[in-house]
Each structure stands twice: as C-alpha cells, then as structure tokens.
A and B are shown apart, each in its own frame.
Chain A
Amino acid sequence: MITLTLLLMGCEINQLARPTLVDRARILGVASEPAEPAPGDQVTLTSLAVDPEEGIGAVTWFGCVLEESSGFGCSLDSEKLEELFAMDLESMTPEEQADWFEQVQAAGFIGVEPDLPPSFTVPVDLLDGLSEEEAIEGKNYLFTLSALPGEGNLDALDLEAEGDSQAETGLKRMPVSLNPSPNQNPVIASVELDGTFAVQDQDTLRVQAGQTYTFVMTLTEESVESYTFVNSEGIVEDRTEQPYVSFYATGGNFFQEVSLYPYLEAQWTAPVDPETSEHNLWLVLRDRRGGMAWVSLNLIVE
C-alpha cells in the first residue's frame, strides 16, 4: 500500500503548485551580516523578497530573542506599535523622531526595506548568565519580516506575523555567540549554464522556449566551512558544512526543488508558451547554520 500511496500521491501532487514556481509575493532568502555575530556587533540584514506581479514595495523587520518568541514569531506589543506607527513622523522634530525611533526599536521594530535598511546592534548583555561553553554555543535571535507587495503600504502590516493575502511573512534565526570561529555566509563563486559560461548576479539571459538548461553552482573554497563540534559526551568532532541550494523561477519548470552539496545543480525547462517573455530565476544557497547567499537572474524567453 505504501507503493500505491506513493504512486497515487505522485499523480495528485502534480495538481498542486510547486514551491519552485514564484507566482505571488514570496520571501526566498534572508541573510544577516555577519552570519553569527557576537554581542555588541552591528548587524546588517537583507532579504530576497519578490513578487512577479507588483514587485515588493517594502519589507518590515521585527526582532526578539528566540526564547521570548511564540511559536509563530516575535511576541510584539501590537497596541504600542500601532500607536507609534499611527503618529505623524513628518510633523515631529528631529529629536522627537529620534525618540520615536528608540521607542519602536524597544518594541521590536528593526527597520523597513528599502527606506530604512534594517540593521541593529546586538545587545551586549544578550549572553549574560551563560557559562563559557554555553556562550560559545550562543543563543538565537529571531527576526520576523513581512514583504508587502505593490506600494508597500505599512497599513497592510500584520503585526501578528500571520500575514494576509497580500503580505508574505517569514521567520529567520540568527545565532549570537562568542564562538572564536563563527559561521560565515557562504560565497557563490559562479553559476554555470549548461557548463558553457558563467553568469553573474542580476545578469540577463536569453533562453529558448521549451528548452532545458542546467544550472550548476560552485562555491568558493572557504564557503564550505570546516569547524569543530563538541558533542554531549564532550568529544570534539571535526565537521564540514553541508550546504544546499533551492531553485525558484517565475515560469518554466525545475526538475527538482533543491540540490544537496556536492550536487548543486538543477535542470530547468523554459516555458513553452509563456504569457510573458520576461522571467526571473533565483538560486538561494543555505549552509544549514544560518548562512545564506543568492543569485538573481533575469530571463528573456524567445
């Protein structure tokens, strides 16, 4: 019956949209720089949020210590935030604006892309009370971000992180530790198309309708990091990251949704009869320890 189940599931699942097809507002990648900061470090946050119809007008960011979050994201004081966001910033003095910003940051607000790029300073006391071993392991900081399509009207912001039909909400953890060799974001060395030429981020490619192409990602040597892990019995293990890449496109079809290192490749078939000749394709790399990197490509189907 397992066999029949798999067979029948295989038939039925074809009726459902695949995650590789981006046909609405989506968050595809979220990265912090550095990937694993220490207390007091300044962190810059970026997201890969896309919407093939309207584009993404804004991405809002909120943050909290993971331990203080609910299962659905940061537990925010929504009344306080609504009250603050209801204020007219333009009528405020610069001092009042600075005070307002301190209040919204204290309530968990971090920033809004693209106008107020999200960055913040990791609280210096975040790891206080932990033992030395625990501090090396660290604790997670959690970000809740919402991608708002179109104009990016903040009124559409869902502070409960549930989103609505328009906004797309996601979670991202960021380890904060005193690890002497903290995790780094991976670096994509190149993406090759059909093994013939390399493409760069934001390149525009011309592809033939219905044609199948193979994308192969290669990483810089240092991207697949080696590190040590002390297990629960105190034994030090030498480990190597096992990154994987996820594939997305606004059209066409990927043969598989993800590819595991060292097989960082995927076959993609261009749309046969596309409604539009312009498409986008993304390859997002994750190192499983919170590090991310991505490549965006523009496609013109001929």
Chain B
Amino acid sequence: MLFLLSLLVLSPSAKAQDDSASSAAPAAGPVEEEEVLPLTKMPELVDLVQAPYPEEAKQAEIEGSVLLLIEIGVDGKVSYVEVLEEPGYGLGEAAVQAIQASTFSPAEDANGPTVVALEFNYGFVLDAAAIDDAVPEEPIEPEVLPVTFEGQVLELATRAELDEMTVIVLGTDFSATTDNEGRFEIRGLPPGSYQVAVVRPGWAEKELELTIEEGLVSSAEIWVRNESYGQNTVVGVYRKDKDEITTRTISMSEAKKIPGTFGDPIRVIQNLPGAGRAPFSSGLLIIRGANPEDSGVYIDGIRIPYVYHLGGFVSVINPEMIQSVDYLPGSYGVQYGRSTGGAVDVTTKKESPEQDRIVWSTDLLDSGGLYEGRLGKDDQHHVAVAARRSYVDVVLRPFQKNRPFSANPVWYDYQLRYSYHGFEKTQVSFFLFGFDDKLLVTTDDGVSQSSDQDAQGDLSTHQFTHRLQGKIEHEISDTLSVRVMPSFGVDYQYLGLGQSFQLDQTLWLSEIRAELPWKPNDHVEVIPGLDLIGGWWNFQTELPFNPDSFVEYDPLAEREAFKIEDEGTGWGPDLYLKANLRPFKDLDRLYVQPGIRFSVYSISDQFTATAWDPRLSFKGRVAKNTYIKGATGLYTQPPQFFESYAPGTNDYNPDFEKAWASSLGLEQQIKPGLNLETEGFYKELSDLIVNNRDFQEIGDIPYTNEGAGEIYGFEVMLRQDPINNVFGWVSYTWSQSWRQDYEDSDRYLYDFDQTHIMTALAGVKLPYQFEVSGRVQYVTGTPYTPYSGAFYDADLDSWTPYSTGKRNTDRLGAYTAVDLRAERAFTFKHWRMLAYVDFLNVYRGDNPEFRLYNYDYTDYVDVRGLPFLPSPGVELEFYL
C-alpha cells in the first residue's frame, strides 16, 4: 500500500509567508506596507497520482519515504521536482514520476495565485496488496474501530503542539497524522508489542515501544526535536513579493550561525553584496562606496544614530527582539529619505511565542537576558523585556597592566515591547528601547601623553539613545487602511579630553510616520505618507584654542580658550507618495513603483532647504524563474548636524547633498532554493558638502556644496537557501567610489573605496545537534595618501608630513581572513542550551587596518586587524 505521508516543510518563500500569515501582528515594518505578503491560501492536493511500487523495492521488501523538493506554479502544476532524500531501489524515480503527474490548487496571497516551493514527502509502505499488484487497498474505516492508541506530539524545549507529524506503527498499516493540537489516535490496533516511529523531515526521528492490551487504550506523550533551519523565522535572502527591488532579507537562523558576527543578525549584512568591510570591526556601514554617515539605520522605520555598541561587535538591540533585518543597498523607495547611501531597517517582533520563554546569553563581551510571553489567558497582551550589559572592561584589564593608559569601555541596552491583539481591525504596539556606551581611557597624571598641555588628561566618551515608539494600524475598509508610528526620544553625545576639551550635544527628537495605503484592486496600490521629524538641540563646546587660529596655524600664538553654547530647534516635515502597480493579470509579471518625496530641512535661525526626490523602480519576469529589475531616482540628504551650524553669519544656506542613483539587475532561480542575482549600479553625486576654502574666521561660511563624485560597480550573489541542512552563499562586489571636492581639484578614490569584496560562507547541520559554519573573506585594502617627506618643526619638536602627490593614490594591503564557528545544542523537555565557539581569524593575511608612522615619517608599521581569537559563548532558553 502506498500512502502520502504529508506535505511537509514549506519552501523559503512560502515559509516566510506562512509565518507572517500566522501572526496577528502587522506583517511589515512601518515603512513597508507589504514587507511580507502572507499566503491567504495554502496549496492543496487535488489529484495525487499513486506511484507504482518499484519491482526492485518490492522484491527487496524496501519501505521508506522519498523527500522531494517541488515547486507548484500559479496553475497548480508541479513545475520542478528534485529528490532530496530517498532510500533507493527505484523509489525516488517512482515518486518523481507520480508527483509530476499530480496536481494541486495553487497557493495564494493577497495578489492572487503565487508560486511556492515546498518539501513533500512521498511514502512507500509494503503490504500484501502492494506486493501483489501495487494497487492500494481500500483504507480501513477507522471510525468503526475503537481507539487503541492515542497521544500527543510535542516539541522538546518549546513544548509546542506539533501538527502534521506522522505517527507510524512500524511493520503494520497503522499510522496517523497529528492535528493542530499535536494529537493523534489510532484505531483498531490489535493487542501486542510494537515499535512506533514519529517522523517528519526536519525533525529528529523518534521511536518508542508500544504495548496494546486487550480492551485498554494506550496513550503516549511524544517529545521530538526540531532539526530544521529557519523555524519561526523569516527565511530567504530574496523575496519576490518585496516592494523594494533589491532587498536582501536575512534568515535569522542563518544569521546567528555565521562566524565573525557574534550571533548578531545585523552584522550579517556585512557579508552581503554591496556592503564593504568595516575597518577594524568598527561596525561602520559602508554601502556601495558611500560614506557611513550617508546610510540610514532604522528600527521599525525610525532612524537611530548608530547601530553597534563600542567596538562594533554587537548591535544595540537584543537579537532575540529582531524579526528581520532588511538590507537595502540602493534604489529603494521614497519612504526612506534623508540619505544618499544605503539603508538598513530592523523590524522587531510584535508577537510573543505561544510558550512564554526566558533566554539568557553569555559570551566574552557581555551577558543579557530576555523574557517574552503573553499576559492573561486571552492571548491579547504580548510583552517582551530584555537587557544586556558588557563586562569587556573587566576582560581587558589583565591585558592593560604596565601600560601608560587603561581603557574601560562599558555598554548596556534594554528593550521593552508591548503589543495588543484584542482588536479585530486594529493593531497596537509600543516599543521602548535604549542603549548607552561609555569609554574612559585613564592615564597617570605624571606621564605626559604629548608635549601639549591641553592634550593631557583622561579621554572620555559617552553616548546614549532612548526611544519610545508606537505603532497603530487600522483597517478602515477593505481597500483603505492607516498606519501611524509616533516616536519620541533623546540622543546624547559627549567627548572630553582632560579639563579643556569638551563636546556635549543633546538632541530631543520627535518623529511621526504615517501612511494611508489605498488598494482598490490587486493591480493598484497608492500610498501617501508623512515622515516628520522635529526636535530641540543643545550643545556646548569647550576648546583650548580658538578655531580661528587653525586657519593660520601658529604654534607660538597664545591660545585663547573657546567656549560656545547654543540651542535651537529643527524640523523636517517630509511628504511622499508612491504607487505599487502590477498591470498584468499575472501579477508577478511586472511590478512598477513610481514615487516622489518632498523633503524639508530647517534649522532655527539658520536656514531652510528643500528637495524633491523622484524615483522609479520596476521588476518584471522575462522567463520562467528569470526576473529583470531596474531603478533610477534622486536621493537627497540634508547637511549633518555639525554642517548645519554656522555661528556669526546669517548667509549660510547649505543645500541638500544629492545622488542620482540607477541600477539594472537580473535574478535567476537556478532551481528552487538556489538563486543567482547580479546587479549593476551607477550613482552620480553632486552638491556634496565640503570645507569652504575661503573660511578665515568664525562668521565666515564654513561649508559649501562644491563637492561631487560618482560610484559605480556590480554585484553578484549565488545563494543556497537553507534546505537539506545546508545553507551558504558566495557574493562578490566590484565597485569604484570617486570624489572631487572642488571643481578645480583632482578627483580621487574615496576613503571608503573597496574595489573587490568577496565573501563565501556556508553552514551545515551535523548529527547529534552539532553544527559548523565557515566564512572566507577577501577585500581590497583601504586607500591612503603616501607621504613624500616631513619637515621638523623646532618650536613643537615634531615632524609635519607632506605629500606632493594626489590623494589616496596608494592602498593598504588586502584583507583576507577565514573564520569558523562550531556549536552544539542540548535539548531537554523544558529548556535547551546552545554552546558555541567563534574562531575568528583562523587564517588571516597581513590585514593592515591603518599605517602607523614613526616620529619623522621615515618608517612605518601597518597595524594589523584582530589576531586569532576564540570567542566562546552559551545561550540558555527556558520555556515556562
């Protein structure tokens, strides 16, 4: 007898949609009206063709299941089949032929039928009839027989009730599939002793002994362990239903496995095409050759000033609070503004898991905990709270003995989330978070740090951010909805050296995002939006010298302490309008997104600047599994805060920096789960803010919009989605980033230019809950300007280098490194533990991070990056 075990694990794309569909929370971040399109209808088996039992298997009495990877098209036909696992004896071939002849009803999302890939288990079980003529018997009518064996299948640790699990009484025809509560029952099983197996691909097979006694019902609670990737996470780097044509969405399960990222999903973007290597693990976001400050980082659509704690090792938000990380290297829609570089949008979870849980993680750098769960019994109140603090200062202490300085970095962060799920058409959530970073470098008073009295003393930095965000979504009608996302918070930065050098800046910010999506049909969606930011700023600066003296530097001039304190307000009420157009009946055939954004940037008593950003992007299917995509548009960015302030003059009117960005690319699904993407891009930069060469003293205009530049390149990525216990990708980026500060000056390779960036990484699950992963990186070295010589200044007793050549004509050596990671999970009934070690720089090249010269610039050494560094950690997860 043949029987279909089950339709098992959805493919990456379908899985993502399924997860979203199961969520009562909004499926998207505040700036993505359709970040994840939930499947409104799962594919259903309409006609399963029974495979003839292969003679070879029949004679050898071979039973088993064939794990297939199949793709179901919008017409419900099976368009692709691949055998992932099979017992041999012709069973695989028979299953392929049978499934190719079978038909399904297509999966559907909000736009109608859609393509999905899924794993499908086709089972073969021998019985007399099968051996005789390969024709299945009529199934036993179970309802007429008494229940003899019943039970429930639960997941180890999470205690989740598992559906779609197949319970087989081995050596018999008896089997059952668990329902939504994980329950099953088998009727009519005669008395005796049996072996029972619980199977489902992606789960560790569970076997147990069973004894059936006459007149009694045996019951069992069966615990099984999940072994698949991507459980309860967004899966898939490329999602065809994204609004953005180039969005790389990262599987959280992959993200935490990649060596060198310290389990931080936000650091994973540095392994994707277009993302440069952060020098010295600094965490700087270098996206397509742009200045790091030109790229925006958002948490649920609200921009934050920085994304990594001191040292760039970990991001400022607990990874367990993150639902997904969207990486947009360029050509993104008008909902993102005020930046000419890329964008990273972190979407936090809005829903707690069914089982309350506590997660505790500890590694070399910090420790932190998280609790998330549901309040009350009606499942309407979901909460999560997390906090983390570093102790790297303690770890570093032994290494700082007998040194003239002692560095003490400390950071912490916290998050509190609440979401209400009691309204039918309204979603409400609040998110309070903050992060704080301090660094104190202390020195002995009697030890001179330099010949400059004003450079004497302790170095201290402090920066923090606190935000309270809200999100309200309401469905007004079937075609109209509204999203409002207010936020309020403070950013603070301090830098101090000794007693005479202090920079102190406070920024109180209010932001409101609001969108009113109107979708009259599947082909048209229009989204007007407001992106308003306003705030009050205050800063104090104390310097041991007057900045005017820097224009004509005179070391013998008497220094005059300089102090300035000011406050003011600023705001930017940006408006945008975009449309999502799918003109064909086959919605996937062409997607066009025109949009325009109007930006305002106003600093009280200083200036007001405005900009219009028109943008257009498209994505179309040109052949089966082949898409082309392109975009062009203007991206503008207001001056940075320090570029916005010009004391002593009312004639300062800086304009927005501008980048006209265009891209053209191709996406090809080689087979389900294996994708190739290429994209070329060109960005013309203009009105870049540079120092005013005529600046003489305070009161003069400090900056001008004279700078220009261009960035061009291409990206390639070949990616294996996490299927069959393996994931990985190879990405390569070639690019050039040029700048020209003034019309009459030479253009030069930009400081953050990295011509070649190659990353290859892979991870594989091994038996016994072991998992290993590795990463290889190659990145072109950082450009620098070589010195031609140096002259001795007897007044200062120091050498001043000079260069007679052009800027950035040389490069430091390339960066090459191999990182490995090994982990072992331990799963118990109510909790699990993950122990891991990141082995950083198992192999490393010279990896010069910067060049350190001797006192007279006649010699130098290249300061290398991190040495081999094993970084162990442990994560405990308790389900309450």
Contacts and interface: CB of A to CB of B under 8 A. Distances in A.
B792 interface: yes
Contacts of A161: 791
Interface string A280-302: 00001010111010000000000
Interface residues of A, number: 54
A1 B311 contact: yes
A98 interface: no
B864 A8 contact: yes
A142 to B, nearest CB: 10
B451 A5 contact: no
Given A19-B855, A260-B453, A5 B792 contact: no
Interface string B307-344: 00011110000000000000000000000000000000
Contact of B556 (A16, A17, A30, A140): A140
20 contacts: A1-B283, A2-B409, A3-B310, A6-B407, A8-B863, A12-B862, A17-B855, A72-B802, A163-B791, A169-B791, A172-B794, A173-B555, A173-B556, A258-B451, A258-B797, A263-B446, A284-B797, A288-B453, A288-B555, A288-B556
B746 interface: no
Interface in B548-603: 554-556, 558, 560
Q: Which 10 A-B pairs have the closest CB atoms?
A: A19-B855, A170-B792, A1-B311, A3-B407, A16-B854, A30-B794, A172-B794, A258-B451, A12-B861, A242-B453
Contacts of A259: 448
A261 to B, nearest CB: 8
Contact of A244 (B453, B558, B791, B853): B453
Nearest to A286: B797
Given A16-B860, A71-B802, A257-B448, 11 more contacts: A3-B311, A3-B441, A12-B863, A73-B791, A232-B546, A242-B453, A246-B451, A256-B448, A258-B451, A260-B453, A292-B794
A206 interface: no
Interface string A97-111: 000000000000000
Contact of A290 (B448, B456, B556): B556
A29 B853 CA distance: 22
B791 A72 contact: yes
B852 A4 contact: no
Contact of A2 (B407, B861, B864): B407
B403 interface: yes
B450 A258 contact: yes
Given A10-B403, A16-B861, A3 B439 contact: yes
B407 A170 contact: no
B379 to A, nearest CB: 43
B661 to A, nearest CB: 30
Interface in A37-75: 66, 71-73
Nearest to B867: A8
B110 to A, nearest CB: 44
Interface of A: 1-10, 12-13, 15-19, 27, 29-30, 66, 71-73, 140, 161-163, 168-173, 175, 229, 231-232, 239, 242, 244, 246, 256-260, 263, 284, 286, 288-290, 292
B376 to A, nearest CB: 44
Nearest to A29: B794
A229 B446 CA distance: 28
A168 B797 contact: no
B789 interface: yes
B346 to A, nearest CB: 21
A246 B795 CA distance: 12
B678 to A, nearest CB: 34
Contacts of B400: 7
Contact of A286 (B311, B789, B795, B856): B795
B866 interface: yes
Contact of A172 (B280, B439, B795, B852): B795
Interface in B257-303: 280-283
A9 B312 CA distance: 18
A30 to B, nearest CB: 4
Contacts of B478: none
A72 B787 CA distance: 14
A117 to B, nearest CB: 18
Contact of B789 (A6, A163, A244): A163
B792 A27 contact: yes
Contact of A18 (B793, B852, B853, B855): B855
A29 B404 CA distance: 27
Contacts of A9: 852, 863
A288 B396 CA distance: 37
Nearest to A172: B794
A175 B554 CA distance: 11
A258 B792 contact: no
B439 A2 contact: yes
A289 B453 CA distance: 13
Given A1-B282, A1-B312, A244-B448, A239 B558 contact: yes
A258 B793 CA distance: 16
A225 to B, nearest CB: 12
B748 to A, nearest CB: 20
Contacts of B623: none
A19 B791 contact: no
B405 interface: yes
B793 A3 contact: no
Contacts of B408: 3
Interface string B405-445: 10111000000000000000000000000000001010000
Contacts of A17: 854-855, 859
Interface centre among A27, A66, A173 (most CB of B within 10 A): A173
Given A2-B409, A173-B554, A173-B556, A263 B448 contact: yes
